[in-house]
Structures are given as C-alpha cells and as structure tokens.
Amino acid sequence: MGEMFERSSGDSETLRRFTRYLLNDVHALEKMLETGMIESGVRRIGAEQEFALIDKNWQPASIGPELLERMNDPAFTAEIARFNIEANLDPLPFGGTCLREMETHLNKVVDRARTAAQEMDSNIALTGILPTIRKSHLTLDNMTPRERYYMLNEMFARLLGEGGAYELKIEGIDELTLTHDNVMLEACNTSFQVHFQVDPEIFPQRYNLAQAVTAPVLAAAVNSPLLGRFRLWRETRIALFQQSIDTRKGPFERQLQPRVSFGTRWVDKSVLEIFQEDIARYKVLFALDDAEDPFEAIEAGRAPKLEALRLHTGTVYRWNRACYGISDGKPHLRIENRVLPAGPTVVDEVANAAFWFGLMAGLEGEYDDITQVMEFDHARENFYAAARHGLDARFTWINGAKVTAHDLILKELLPLAREGLLNRGIDKDDVSRYLDIIRDRVKSDMTGSQWALKSLGSIKQSGGTRWEQINALVAATVKRQTEGKPVHEWPLARLDEAGGWKQNYLTVNQLMTTDIYTVSPDEPLDLVANLMVWHKVRHVMVEDADHHLMGLVSHRHLLKLTGRELPKQDGHTAPVSDFMVTEPITVTPDTKTIDAIHMMRENRISCLPVLKDERLVGVISEDDFMVMAGMLLEENLKD
C-alpha cells in the first residue's frame, strides 16, 4: 500500500483516468467472484502493531524516520507522524498454536522497537492515545517527510475548502472543543489491527457478524480515555479519528457520511457492495499514473493486483474494512478490524484478538444470518455506546434484548468465543490463557481505560500539576508494559513515577493554570473583586469573545482602593476597561520555566498570561512556582 501511495498523484486528468482504473478493478473482482478465482477453504489471521515514540520526559519523540533507518527492518514502516511507527506481522493459519505464535512475534517486534528507541535515548508506549500529546505536537513539522502524507493533508484541505478547519467536540467527564488546521489530529491514534481471512461465498454473513460483535469486544478492550488533560470517552480514538478528518459540509437535509465510518447497512449478497458504496460515496483523493489491466492478468492466469481499488479503499476508513490481498499467488478476502487500541500490553492485545476471533467462529454456528435477529442501527448504536462507556455500556442485543456489556460478555459471549476457538482447533491451553484474561478483566472492571482513570484519581491525592500527573501515568504505563502482566493485575500509577520535578517543570505549559476566571472589558469592576474573594485568586484576565487577551486586573490594583468606594461612572461601578493593565507581559506555553521566572523578577510582576496563537490559554503566577519551590526545598533538605 505504501508503494502505491508513493506512486500516486492528484491532478484532475490523472484522477479521471484513475477513476476508470478503479471501475475496471471492481468489474474484474466481480468476474473473479463469479468464476471462483478467490481463495476459499483457508483461514488465516494477521495483525499490525502501532507504537507511540516517547522521549525521556514522556513527551512524543519525533524520531520515527531515524528509528526506521536505524532498524532497517522491512517489518516496520512509517506512520503519518514522526512520533509513531508500525510493525506488520506475517499471517498465520487459524488453528493450533496460532495465538501463542502471534504473541511471540508481537513480543519480538515490540522488544526490537524498544531496544532501538532506547539506543536513541527514547522509548515506546503501547497506548490508544498517548496522554502527553498536545496540540503543539500536531504541526506539519512533525509530519513524516513523505510526499504521500503531504498530499493527504492537501487533498483533505481541498475538501474542507478555503479557510476551513477541522472541528473537534468530544464530551465525556470533561468537554473538549477545539479547531485544527491539518490532518495531524489523526496521528494521536495508535491501534492494534487484526485481520481474519474469509471465504468469498460467505463473506457477507461473516462481515455482518464482525459488525455485530465489534461493540462487546471494544467494551472489554478500551484503552484511550484521555486526550491530553481531558477525560473523554473510554475509547476516545473512535470519536477523535472520525472528527480529525471530517470534511463534511452541505445542506442540513443531506445525509453526508463521514470518511471514518461504521457503515450504513448490513451487507446483503457480496463484498462488492462495500467497494461500490465506497466509490459512490467518497471522492477519489489519490490517483496512480498507470495501473495494471486486471483482465489481462486474469487471462494470463495471474491474480490481478487491483491496485486502484486497494489504493482507494486505503483512503476510506471503515472500522471493519473489507480487504483484497494476494498470498502465495492466490487472491483472497479478509476483514480488517481497526477498532482495537494499542496496549495495554502484548498479552492484553492478543487476548482482545482471541475474543474477536472466537466470536467470529462461535457465532457463525449460533446465527447463520445475524441480520435476521439484530437491526443494523442497533449494532452501530452499540458500537458508539461501547466507545463512550466501555464495560458500563448498555446494548440492544439479539431480538432487541437490553443487556449490559459486563453481563453479555461474562454470561453469553465468552462461552461462545471459547467454543468457537476450540472448534477451530485452537490449542485449549491457549484458549484458556487468553479468554481468562478477558474474563478477569471484565470481572474486576479493570480495562486499560479504567486503570488510567483510577490511577489519575489516586495520583491527584498526592498533589503535583495536572501535567505531572499525566507524565506519571505514562511513565507507569511504560514500566508495567515492560513487565508484561495484563492490565487487570497492574498496581495503580504513583506520582513519584513521573521522574521528579526536573522533568515536569521545564516549560510553562507544564506548570500553568488553565482553569481560569476571566471577565470582558465592559463588565463592572466589582465583579472582579467578587471573583477574587469567591475563588481566592489574585489575578483576573480580561478577554474578548474570541479569547484574545485585552488586559488584566490584579489584587494589588484593588488594594489601592481599600477604604474608598470602587470608581463609578454615571452612578454605576466603572467598567473593567477603565482600570485594567492593557498591555501585560505575556509568554507562550513553550516558554522555558526559568525564562518566565526571570521575566517576572526583572519586571517585578507576579503573574504572566499565557498566549497561544494570540489567544489566552492559561496563566502562570507566583503561586504556581511555590509547588516547584517546595519540591526543590524538600529534595535538598533530604540530601
């Protein structure tokens, strides 16, 4: 796929010619299905492992291209961001010890990547979303320097239109709303993708089963509850990925589909329905200047590459993707599950895969046609419920039954998955090993997401800034991944795992306060006085409706008014604009802490508004430095 992207382009004439190639490929696939050319009677499984790269301060490490060059291993490949890479596993026959072999291979590639990263003074993390990623990391400077990624960003920008921006709005425990000007939001996501080869004649039934079981599998596997400091969905990747490249615009009445999608309906008769819908709904983004004639390949007795179809499919992001491939010269079809997050550990990932494979095998004997007992809208609704709530989700299941994810998994699905794996000849000890991990995880209600949220709640009691707490979470995650125990056996993270104050107070964004009280310039000055009393703050920022800083008012200004009334205008308290400091000294989130200290000392001021893109994002004050000073004093006194 990567080689095809490197050969692609995007001018209008090439796109028109490519569309003809694309249609030709679909017609060729139709002929292959009719004549029995697609491999049948063979079951294989496969996987792709994505990694987040981190530096010694637990922040994203933009070393991907250099790391790949150092490893020089064809199993590893680049991702869109410099701080991510991916490893591809060889396919395995579905049977015997295939799950154990998958775990062994995964451990080898994880150890290979970890060792190479450590040689570059960095490390790797298996996590759905690296919690220490910030918006400042998501610039084009951090995009992997390959033409296909720049083209991807450019093509999506064209779909957005001039002046357009990606809008992110996710509500969970916290609420996140932001806009972004490039596709790098997508780079926050890291996943563990699994593949399951399916016979062409039963592909519709098996694909529909995959759609139906996605929700409970995801509910047990959730591992990305955070985006930065925001606690959002139990599997925030789902919302983030869809919104990160959502270019839809048009009349309210139009039912425009996002490019990241669960789908719109059950598959009826053939895999062709999926490819035809993808061509009909989604504009071609990339084009090959030339492509093999698939009918000539068929006439010559060769499996056609269907390059145009595969390239276009690679730009449409179904959570369960239909894939065409060639193994040992024979064409095949497979289902790619893109739902599972990376981590928490390799054994957790293989357990998640085993649960999915087992349900695919177990339910095919239980329900010959899942569409007769479940509505598609319920399958899709279940999927988003699982992403939002994890094991706390409530599903509409077979024949409309209402059930919790917790009860459904323990009482019905785990026995079915166990039976499905055993009937397919999977080693019984392996079946017990992996499905028992799912059982114990669900019983203890300790998914990766629950561990992260409970750890944050525990760490919060120990003090530290929000970012120090998140650094501790990432540090603990990496340490426990190296130990290899499944997540339900992990002890909660501790604040001291963050590495000490030096790693957590280097820049202003690690120390600043972001939950701030502000007023507008035309509000009365006595509102400021009351805010200071109510919330025990010594500075109130003044901003306009677009969050541009207009000025600030400090408690020192108000102290000057002690013993007399606040200034009035026409009998009313004067507006803030008459009293505020109009050009306060400011810093950015990336300002070094030591520089901020010098600025405050030299200018004899007690706070600095923090601006990003000319908008107020936080405040750093003398009070914030007291925490750091206390830690430094305690450390030195101990010595």
551 bridge partner residues: 542
- pLDDT reported for residue 398: 96
Collapsing DSSP states into helix, strand and coil, what is residue 535?
A: helix
Contacts of 319 (CB under 8 A, 6+ apart): 214, 238, 260, 261, 262, 263, 337, 338, 339, 383
Nearest residue to 108 via CA among 87, 91, 92, 122: 87
- Residue 236 CA to residue 316 CA, distance in Å, equals 20
Q: What angle do CA 432, 433, 434 make, to 5 degrees?
A: 95
Q: β-strands 394-396, 330-337: how paired?
A: unpaired
Decide: 342 and 49 in contact? Cβ < 8 Å. yes
Task: Give, in order, the Cα–Cα distances in Å from 52 to each of 140, 216, 250, 565.
Answer: 17, 26, 36, 58
The CATH class that applies to domain 508-638 reads alpha beta
Decide: 552 and 525 in contact? Cβ < 8 Å. no
Distinct helix (H) and strand (E) counts, the chain = 21, 25
Reading the block at residue 193, the tokens are 């993708």
Single-letter amino acid, residue 456: L
- pLDDT reported for residue 563: 46
- pLDDT reported for residue 572: 56
Decide: 196 and 360 in contact? Cβ < 8 Å. yes
- Residue 12 CA to residue 286 CA, distance in Å, equals 10
Q: β-strands 8-9, 92-93: how paired?
A: unpaired
> Are domains 2-89+98-115+122-155+163-442 and 508-638 of this chain identical in fold?
no
Nearest residue to 247 via CA among 305, 192, 316: 316
pLDDT tens-place string over residues 299-332: 999 999 999 999 999 999 999 999 999 999 999 9
CA 602 centroid distance within chain: 43
Decide: 103 and 209 in contact? Cβ < 8 Å. no
- Residue 469 CA to residue 476 CA, distance in Å, equals 11
- E strands, 199-344, where? 226-227, 230-231, 260-261, 287-288, 317-318, 320-327, 330-337
Nearest residue to 442 via CA among 487, 479, 409: 409
Domain boundary assignment for the chain: 2-89+98-115+122-155+163-442, 508-638
The model carries a pTM of 0.85
Decide: 43 and 424 in contact? Cβ < 8 Å. yes
Q: What is the mean pLDDT of each run of 10 residues along the chain (639 residues)?
A: 50 83 97 97 97 94 97 97 98 98 98 97 97 90 93 88 87 92 95 98 97 98 96 97 83 70 96 96 86 95 96 94 96 98 98 98 90 97 98 98 98 97 98 98 98 96 84 96 97 87 71 85 88 87 91 82 54 77 91 90 91 88 72 61
Single-letter amino acid, residue 374: M
- pLDDT reported for residue 4: 47
Q: Which architecture, in CATH terms, is 2-89+98-115+122-155+163-442?
A: 2-Layer Sandwich (3.30)
Contacts of 268 (CB under 8 A, 6+ apart): 204
404 bridge partner residues: 394
What would the DSSP string read from start to end of 163-177? T--EEEEEESSSEEE
- pLDDT reported for residue 15: 82
Q: What angle do CA 114, 119, 120 make, to 5 degrees?
A: 100
- pLDDT reported for residue 500: 60
User: DSSP H helical segments within 176-248, as ranges?
Assistant: 203-221, 236-244
Reading the block at residue 383, the tokens are 């999927």
